Chains A and B, each alone.
Chain A
Amino acid sequence: MQTIYILWLRQIKRYSRSRSRMIGALGQPLLFLVALGFGFGPIFEKAGGGNYIQFLAPGIIAMSILFTAIFSGMEIIWDRQFGFLKETLVAPVPRLHIMIGRTLGSASVAFLQGFVVFLISMLVGFRPEQWGLFPIALLVMFLIALIFTALGTAIASVMEDFHGFQLIINFLVMPLFFLSGSLFPLQGLPTAIDIIAKLDPLTYGIDALRGTLVGAAHFGLTLDLGILVVLVALLMIVGSWLFSRIEV
């Protein structure tokens, strides 16, 4: 327990001390909200989709969680190269505890980042329609954070350095975001895109967020939550297995 707590605390401290990173990571969601939200708003409304900001905001909140979570999960690569990972790996504690502590810490950071983006989205006009479900929306945000931190951990456990970083961004993170229904409704999509979207874990996270914040879940909240919980379990198992096999 102590191990998990102290490693959780470390991630939080590192986050709170890098203000530039914190603020830098808010620029992109803000740009997306403003440019896409106001840019596509009129067309979206004419097509009968309603208020685009209301539709878009959950997608952008999830995006910022996705990015922060994957990158902080991948912080292991830094720690590996700059030695700190060795310090934790020679300590007389189970690697599982190390992995859980780190993952919870990074996921908390990603969750906080998502929450700040939620506040920003309120500034540009987003309004949750059912505050009663707000606690569940927060839970969904944390589940999204856990899924992608664990994924980042899994990737970082098998990557030696940052050479493959660009590959991960362009062929994993970006597709996860763009093909998740974050920017467009899932109704009436071409079959190929429909299938890909249904395979994308983020799709269910965003759908659950829409379900809780604006009451418009495509798959239904129960299915979304079920899939998210299963994914958390699955990726935590894979992540900790890969982490336990790291040799430095």
Chain B
Amino acid sequence: MPDHTAQTSPIIDVQDLTRKFGDFTAVDHITFSVGAGEIFAFLGPNGAGKTTTIKMLTTLLHPTAGRIRINGYDPQHQQDAVRKSFGIVFQDPSTDDELTAWENLELHGVLYGVDKALRRQRMEQLLDIVELSDRRDDQVKHFSGGMKRRLEIARGLLHHPKILFLDEPTIGLDPQTRNHLWSYVAELNVQEGITVFLTTHYMEEADKMAKRIAVIDHGKIVALGSSAELKAQTNTQTLEEAFLALTGKGIREEEAGAIDNMRLHARAWRGKRR
């Protein structure tokens, strides 16, 4: 029986969490907890339920059943307390392209009620850390994917959250940027004691970063433990082999959603406007 509880007092506590979309069960009775200051990874194939879980933890989606506590609060009934507790980097970019880097941060700071002097000071600091200070007055639409990600991380930290959610933050980034990003996250974790909850399907990232890993498939947690424990449990040499042993080798299809269609539209639109 895998160990489903955190070693330290849990800052994220989830019991029997379930989400259905019609007949389809995206998340199926999952239970786990994450200790304060821990780095915890959700590993799973496409459509396993990773993003749906994050949406429920971050108040964006109501659970069908189950219980969640984030920093001691209930995302369904104490939304604002929960929202102040975390910062998030979404799977898809979520900056406003027409605004500058500085304006994006400013807007975030105001929404989170960080007062002006403190806000400005942190904005300068964070832009330095993510190495975007010289581009602060450029509109985000001129940024590369990596720069946008860095800006989003800076933004996610602006209100000093206790938990940082990273939903596949390195998709589409080159190895240099990925490396840079993870070392920064690791540093934050050590220095600020910030709890990190990440999802990824890059094995080596989970292996390197996470203290404990939950392997999720078809909406269920099929294994949970450290990388070494998962390998031992499946009798394999690498995390990738362990992952394949746990989730099978069939290729997963993810439905092309509205977002993909929109991207096509957007491309056509931008083309016209230029």
Contact = CB atoms under 8 A, between A and B. Distances in A.
Nearest to A87: B94
A13 B103 contact: yes
Interface residues of A, number: 29
A233 to B, nearest CB: 26
Please classify how large the interface on chain B is, using the bins under 10, 10 to 19, 20 to 34, 35 or more.
Answer: 35 or more
Interface in B124-138: none
Contacts of B111: 3, 6, 88, 91-93
Contacts of A17: 98, 139
Contacts of B58: 90
B174 to A, nearest CB: 21
A209 B94 CA distance: 40
Nearest to B62: A247
B83 A81 contact: no
A89 B262 contact: no
A131 to B, nearest CB: 37
B92 A83 contact: yes
27 contacts: A6-B110, A6-B111, A10-B96, A17-B139, A18-B98, A20-B273, A81-B258, A81-B259, A81-B262, A82-B97, A83-B90, A84-B94, A84-B96, A86-B60, A86-B90, A86-B94, A87-B96, A89-B60, A90-B58, A90-B59, A91-B83, A92-B111, A93-B111, A161-B262, A161-B265, A248-B55, A248-B60
Interface of B: 55, 58-62, 79-81, 83-84, 88, 90, 92-99, 103, 106-108, 110-113, 139, 155, 258-259, 261-262, 265-266, 273
Interface of A: 2-3, 6-7, 10, 13-14, 17-18, 20-21, 81-84, 86-93, 160-163, 247-248
Q: Closest 7 A-B residue pairs measured CB to CB?
A: A83-B94, A91-B111, A81-B262, A92-B83, A92-B80, A161-B258, A6-B110
